[in-house]
Structure 1
């Protein structure tokens, strides 16, 4: 599984003129590692929420399949998202995740509709 982050793999801002940069990241835990993965993922929540470009950052665990986690993330813009990826705690997380993931994560990029608020 790859944790390499390359800016060009992330879409540019919305072509519709919407403000903000949002995404959902889906992660699948290795069976038996669900709680350990949750602890690891939670370790970046508060520092991320404190980033100046972070509008909203929430970790969620699937009710039906507790081995699946979803981050819902909203940033002021693409540059704020790229700054988030460059933080030491996210760089460390991307390396530390490897033994906990059953497959590559999935990322869906969204364009916020309407005004953003936290």
Structure 2
């Protein structure tokens, strides 16, 4: 489990939202994807947050290497403030 965060450059918010929405459809079709839920922060509409769950580490590795993933990241890079998505790995309590 992880979440990814990034901030759209001023004026690129709708382009990022559309790009992410299309990418979500592709990721959800990946065999190892359990959950891919993109959000826009309500109080800061330039900020995007994606909650992701993959079957296992191999499924995540496959996700990272997909053609649509590589294309998404290449297109996203010039539209956001950060140098790529900022990933935070999550571990359930009690695990």
Q: What's the TM-score, normalizing by structure 1?
A: 0.74
Cα distance, 1:112 vs structure 2: 3.6
Q: For 2:42, which of 53, 63, 67 is the aligned residue?
A: 63
Number of the residue aligned with 1:40: 19
Q: Counterparts of 2:89 and 2:82 in 1: how far apart (Å)? A: 19
Partner of 2:70: 91
1:106 to 73, 86, 92: 86
SS class of match (1:30) = coil
Unaligned runs of 5+ in 1: 1-21
More helix by share: 2
Specify every segment of 5 or more residues in structure 2 that has no aligned partner in the other structure, as ranges: none
Q: Residues 20-78 of structure 1, C-alpha deviation per residue, up to 9 Å, x if partnerless? A: xx100001000111001111111111111111111110000000000000010000111
Q: Cα RMSD (Å) of the superposition? A: 1.3
- Tell me the matched-pair count: 93
Question: Pick from 29, 36, 47: which aligns with 1:50?
Answer: 29
SS in 2 for 1:56: strand
- What TM-score do the two structures reach when normalised by structure 2? 0.91
Please identify runs of 4+ aligned residues in structure 1 that moved more than 3 A. Answer: none
Larger radius of gyration, structure 1 or 2? Answer: 1
